[in-house]
Amino acid sequence: MPEAGFYMRAFFSLKFFFTLFLLVLTCSAFTQSVQITLGPDEIGENQVWTITVTAQNERLKSYDNFPDLVGFRKRGQSTQSTTNIVNGQISSSQSVIMTYLPLKQGVITVPSFTMNVNDKPIAVAGKKVKVGPPVQQQRDPYRSPFDRDTDDFFGRGETEFVDIKEDAFLALSTSKDEVYVGEGFNTTLSLFIAEDNRAPLSWHDLGKQVSEIVKKLRPNSCWEENFNIENIEGESVQVNGKDYLQYKIYQATFFPLNAQPVDFPAVGLEMIKYKVAKNPSFFGQNRKEDFKTFYTKPKRVNVKELPPHPLRNAVAVGDYRLEEKMRSTDLETGQSTGYEFTIFGEGNISSITKPDVRNDAFFEFYEPNVRQEISRNKSRVTGTKAFSYFMIPREPGTFKLGDYFKWVYFNPKLQQYDTLKSQLTVFVTGESKKNDVIESTDPGSFYDKITTADNTLRAVTDTHWEKWIFNIFIIVILAASAFLLFKK
């Protein structure tokens, strides 16, 4: 009997492991996968072409916008769900289908693209689609009575959809409501969607819409530094104590060029908003595509003149600092040396002009090389502008470079003018090179003839025969005129 019990336990253990092995094989047959399928190679002009995203055995949680295709127009988006039962095992799939309408007949090239589905990038190879003449579509008389819409099959009839109120808004905000001429202010156009929003929303022709919106928002009286937003991603923020996701659509810093107020008009952004089935089901379509346009409010930024100053119309505006570089402050007359005057800080870096440096008897300066770097980050425009000079000292002595290198600007934070001035002192040794400048100057051909000219003294003779001839000629003309006059 003990041996029988041993064999019985062994039999059940073997059966358990065999069942577990079959279960693993069965589960591996229903692995999760995501795929993107393109429509047929040929369609009629009156037929639609599709791109389908399908998730097998997993929920379709997130996916990118479907691509805009040249030659096609997006018609709308729909969803589809299927369930299969094989040997008692349930497999399911969810699909999102974007429908495209051809704009004309011909061959349309669909380029390769990549979509993020459930946070995973999926690459799709492009293809060519031939669009032919319209096709006459007839109902197939041999179509199976079971080949019907799922709603009709289960006797649901027409699905009723309801509109859910969205908790979202479009806003144009500026970092300042009043600035000086030349002072920058950051402008951001964002869509805010509450984190507990229940109304499904998605983008619609975003690139084309943003291009038109920017044309309306961009003021002609300002210099623009565009932040060039490429990827629109939600950022958690709080508005009036409520959690929202902020999607920045456009961001730029503007620098007014004159005292004219900057007015931003109201602009609209059209979004796809889905109506939800009143009685949702695992089968059939549970949402219907619709459109909703969100609008901003008009916005004005007042601009005021800079305080009186001789250089008011020429100075840069911002918060700047000075950094200077020089290999050595011990110089020798006649030997060139380098000096770099670098301005860095926050403001319109592009508008920074070089310091007004002039030659004199002590130094000779050459036109500087200019290097500029601009950074646009966290709603600020910062950067550097470096001026690299070459100079030749002409006279020995001790000189303060601050007497030559100075740059005036207006600081809007302090509301006053300030000067960036060199703090270096140079020590020049060697012989004076002032006479070298005179000797190197070409006196011209007049002085070249001095050494060859005759320096013999001669008496100056005054001949008046030219005057006598001219006077006789005048008398003859007057006599002839008088004769003609009296003769008449």
Give the dihedral sign, CA 434/439/445/447: positive
Same domain, 280 and 241: yes
306 three-state secondary structure: coil
The last residue of a domain, from among 439, 455, 480:
439
Inform me whether the pLDDT recorded for 379 exceeds 80. yes
Same domain, 128 and 210: no
Confidence of residue 130 (pLDDT cuts 50, 70, 90): very high
Same domain, 269 and 182: yes
Same domain, 281 and 249: yes
CA 6 – CA 9 distance, rounded (Å) = 5
Confidence of residue 172 (pLDDT cuts 50, 70, 90): very high
Q: What is the pLDDT of residue 176?
A: 96
The last residue of a domain, from among 284, 304, 324:
304
Range of the structural domain that residue 8 is part of = 1-30
Residue 156 lies in a domain: no
Same domain, 115 and 186: no
Q: Residue 322 belongs to a domain with what CATH number?
A: 2.60.40
Same domain, 88 and 183: no
CA 130 – CA 44 distance, rounded (Å) = 8
Same domain, 184 and 288: yes
pTM for this prediction: 0.59
Same domain, 291 and 358: no
What does the DSSP assignment read for 43-102?
EETTS-EEEEEEEESS----BPPPPP-TTEEEEEEEEEEEEEEETTEEEEEEEEEEEEEE
Tell me what the pLDDT averaged over the chain comes to: 82
Q: What is the pLDDT of residue 280?
A: 63
Residue 458 lies in a domain: no
Q: What is the pLDDT of residue 448?
A: 60
CA 173 – CA 186 distance, rounded (Å) = 8
Return all residues near 45 (Cβ < 8 A) that are at least 6 apart: 102, 104, 105, 131, 132, 133, 134
The per-residue pLDDT for range 444-476, each reduced to its tens digit, is 555 566 666 666 656 555 556 677 787 888 888
Same domain, 429 and 329: yes
Counting the structural domains of the chain, the total is: 4
The per-residue pLDDT for range 35-94, each reduced to its tens digit, is 899 999 999 888 889 999 888 877 777 788 888 898 888 877 776 666 554 444 556 677
Q: What is the pLDDT of residue 153?
A: 42
Taking CB atoms within 8 Å and a gap of at least 24, the contacts of 64-69 are 64/115, 64/116, 64/117, 65/202, 65/203, 65/206, 66/98, 66/115, 67/111, 67/113, 67/115, 68/205, 68/207, 68/208, 69/100, 69/108, 69/110
Residue 146 lies in a domain: no
Residue 382 lies in a domain: yes
Confidence of residue 433 (pLDDT cuts 50, 70, 90): confident
Give the dihedral sign, CA 352/353/356/357: positive
Same domain, 72 and 25: no
CA 391 – CA 365 distance, rounded (Å) = 4
Q: What is the pLDDT of residue 472?
A: 85
Residue 106 lies in a domain: yes
Residue 363 lies in a domain: yes
Inform me whether the pLDDT recorded for 424 exceeds 70. yes
Inform me whether the pLDDT recorded for 442 exceeds 80. no
Residue 285 lies in a domain: yes
Inform me whether the pLDDT recorded for 113 exceeds 70. yes
Same domain, 296 and 191: yes
Residue 444 lies in a domain: no
Same domain, 23 and 37: no
